[in-house]
Amino acid sequence: MTIQMSSFLLASLAVFFFFSSLEKSFAFQAARKEDTESNNLHQYTHLVHLSSLLPSSSCSSSTKGPKTKASLEVVHKHGPCSQLNDHDGKAKSTTPHSDILNQDKERVKYINSRLSKNLGQDSSVEELDSATLPAKSGSLIGSGNYFVVVGLGTPKRDLSLIFDTGSDLTWTQCEPCARSCYKQQDVIFDPSKSTSYSNITCTSALCTQLSTATGNDPGCSASTKACIYGIQYGDSSFSVGYFSRERLTVTATDVVDNFLFGCGQNNQGLFGGSAGLIGLGRHPISFVQQTAAKYRKIFSYCLPSTSSSTGHLSFGPAATGRYLKYTPFSTISRGSSFYGLDITAIAVGGVKLPVSSSTFSTGGAIIDSGTVITRLPPTAYAALRSAFRQGMSKYPSAGELSILDTCYDLSGYKVFSIPTIEFSFAGGVTVKLPPQGILFVASTKQVCLAFAANGDDSDVTIYGNVQQRTIEVVYDVGGGRIGFGAGGCK
């Protein structure tokens, strides 16, 4: 009896330990599954502090930049870091977000028009005092652009210039402003006070290059035989003046002699108080091509996370880094000045959108520092919007803001979550956008998805500057490739 009882107890204990072990195994597997799901949720979700998306009233300078002497500080023209502000560092005025987006819409219209029609080849600039330019040529210099400060002349005069990868000609307003100059923050450049200034003559082969760079045939001064350029922008702003040479000071130790630029004598428009523009396009008279021997056709930038922080614009091979992933430039035959991209896919929350890569190749794609909001083919945008809205369903919606139709009222949240968005490019390159590259914040009550649809699938896809924030973007023009790297500004 005792033996039977002992056997029964042993068997019972064995069964107990078996089920206990089995229960622990199931519990472990369930916990591991929860951990995996939690990790996946974290991997494909951004946990965002609302305050991180809002600009400060004071300037915060970046502590990081490429180790190169040819590096300039980049600031947003509406933030406290801009030199286009009052001396106390406060912005002189705040451009309504709807105005910024409406101006952005005009720039996009121009880009598509320029790519589809090869604009401006039948236009010409005659005498400086009688030149009128058609509104069909040029591009809009909108309110969402960024500035750098460079020196011009001998002795040098510091000037705040918009930098634009979609433009070629560098120009600035010049005294004596023979016809008109708009108001700018810097002192207007006076070529008569520079010992290194000279005009390009009408008979020079350089003068003829203006046709493809500006979309207008050059004019000629009857009295001085000086070459006259003219460029008109999408909002009817324009600059007309002398095509010239001058010493350009990039940094204190980096100087470019005989730099070709436009010395504007008749200027009008909304340029945000800037002195002009520095063109970083692909045309022979762009900054990139003129400095090819010095910087090897390489430049990079990082656009700051908000308007109250700074980024950088750098030139030369030192701008490259090991953490970068490169994709080849695609060919945009209709607009040689633009930098083309080959987008292969977009993923939201880790799930690839059901959109064929041919959707993006129909109209082609470019990257543009001057366009604020990324424009997608209607088919792709509809899929992205649907997936993003699904991931944001627990948050209260807000009204539309101009071209932005997916907005939320997050005023009741200090911390919130958004699904990740990733772009895939040719060559297996994937760029995961930071929260600042996904959202456009008008106020805490109106936080919007920073994407918009094109009018038609045949329109060019434009990778805008919001999506480039905090990312190191390297243009290796000579190598035919563009690189992306996270955390470029800090």
Residue 418 in contact with residue 46, Cβ under 8 Å?
Answer: yes
| Active-site residue, selected from the candidate residues 104, 164, 186, 217 | 164
Q: 214, 237, 236, 151: which is closest to 228 by C-alpha?
A: 214
CA distance linking residue 80 with residue 160, whole number of Å:
15
Q: Is residue 432 classed exposed, middle or buried when 0-12, 13-18 and 19+ CB atoms within 10 A define those classes?
A: middle
| Phi-psi domain of 297 (left: phi exceeds 0; alpha: psi -120 through 50; beta: other) | left
What are the DSSP calls for 179-209, one per residue? SB----SSPPB-GGG-TT-EEPBTTSHHHHT
Q: Which two tokens stand for residue 201?
A: 């003559």
Q: Can 88 be counted among the known catalytic residues?
A: no
How many angstroms separate the Cα of 56 from the Cα of each of 81, 442, 448? 10, 14, 19
CA distance linking residue 128 with residue 131, whole number of Å:
5
| Active-site residue, selected from the candidate residues 168, 217, 368, 459 | 368
CA distance linking residue 242 with residue 263, whole number of Å:
5
How many angstroms separate the Cα of 398 from the Cα of each of 406, 411, 442? 8, 11, 11
Q: Is the peptide bond before 176 cis (omega within 30 degrees of 0)?
A: yes
CA distance linking residue 317 with residue 322, whole number of Å:
12
Q: Is residue 19 classed exposed, middle or buried when 0-12, 13-18 and 19+ CB atoms within 10 A define those classes?
A: exposed
Beta pairing, strands 276-279 & 171-173: antiparallel
CA distance linking residue 436 with residue 306, whole number of Å:
8
Q: Can 368 be counted among the known catalytic residues?
A: yes
Q: Please identify every residue annotated as catalytic.
A: 164, 368
